[in-house]
Structures are given as C-alpha cells and as structure tokens.
Amino acid sequence: MKALLLIDIQNDFMPTGSLAVPNGNKIVAPVNAVQLHFDLVIASQDWHPASHVSFAKNHLGKKEFQIIRLEGLEQTLWPAHCVQNTTGAEFHPNLHTQKVETIFRKGTNPALDSYSAFYDNAHQKSTGLAGYLKEKGITELYFTGLAADICVYFSIKDALAEGFECVVFEDAVRALDENTYQQQQEELKEQGVNYCRTADFLK
C-alpha cells in the first residue's frame, strides 16, 4: 500500500516567507492534483517555539545561515520560521487539506532541531510517523514538499532506514539550494529512490 506525504508546505517557506524556498508556491497545484489518487495523505508541519535553538536571533553575535556545533551536531542558524500559532507556520492557503488524515508536528523541542518528519536531528525522539504508517500497512511513500534539500531529503533518509520504498514527485518539491539538491538526488537514486512527475502518475 502507498501513502502521500506533504512535507512542510507552510507559509514561511513560500517566496514571501521568512525562510523562502525559491518557487516554493509552484508545488501547491501539483500537490493538490495528485492527492486525489491516494487513499492516505499525511502532512508534516514545522512547529517551533519562539525560543528554538535553530534561530539565529537566539544566539548573540551569530548570523543567519551561519553553521555552528550544538551538542556535537552541526547546526545551521536559520531565520525565525514556523513559530507555533503564527501565520508563517500555517499551511499555504491554497493547499487542499481535506484529504489529510493526520498532521505530524516536528521541531517542538526548543533545544533540538528536527528536519525529518520521522525523527529529530539527533534521533533521540520519534514523531511516531513510522509506526503510524506501518500500522496502516503502508510500504511505499510518495514525497512532496519543502525544502527538497532539507526536510524532504532527511525525511526520505529516515524512511529508507525504516524500510519504506520511496518515490519523489519532482514537480512537487523545491530546494533551498539547487546544487545540494542535485547531489542528493544522485545519492538517493543509488539507494533505490525513484523520481517521477505528477503528470506521469495521473495518466
């Protein structure tokens, strides 16, 4: 059985958002179209407290996009984004959510970042997504969302480790850094990840 994952299709990752992904808004239409062909649709949502450790403003003298080490992990310092109960944390207003069965929120721990929809970056705590999908009998995951080179990428890596087959809708993801994304694509293809377009899937 297969399921569709909508990764962090939130206002702050759109072109007018605080952590804008170039052309992030362009994925909304294909995501809406392809949802109709899945019985199970799941969404993830970045849901940070204002005091989150990943925000540059919470580190005196540090700049946005600077990389530091925290608790032995490499940490990029981001602009404040997807703060709980703000407009920036809401899903894009044109995103259809009627078919979304449940939402898995991540990044809620103020002391630890969480790119993947499955685990935090230190793999200390599971969101429960893997167990949920396995209980539903899901074996194949189709990925959409933002950003392709960060939250989508790390979600795929964890999904592979959990034993799921993974497919990415190329026209339903966008990257923050295109060069990084191209390198990741080659890596993931070698690990068995498939890429297709929503139009091909809808035929």
Map tokens 């809620």 to a residue.
108
Chain segment 131-181, per-residue pLDDT in tens: 999 999 999 999 999 999 999 999 999 999 999 999 999 999 999 999 999
Query: Which tens digits make up the pLDDT trace of 88-128?
Result: 999 999 999 999 999 999 999 999 999 999 999 999 999 99
pLDDT band at 13 (very low <50, low <70, confident <90, very high): very high
Angle at which helices 153-161 and 178-190 cross, to 10° = 20
pLDDT at residue number 70? 85
Model pTM score = 0.96
Average pLDDT of the chain, as a whole number: 96
What per-residue confidence (pLDDT) applies to 89? 98
> Which residues are known to be catalytic?
8, 106, 151
Q: What percent of the chain has pLDDT over 90?
A: 95
The domain defined by 2-48+82-202 folds into Rossmann fold (3.40.50)
Q: How do the domains of the chain map onto residue ranges?
A: 2-48+82-202
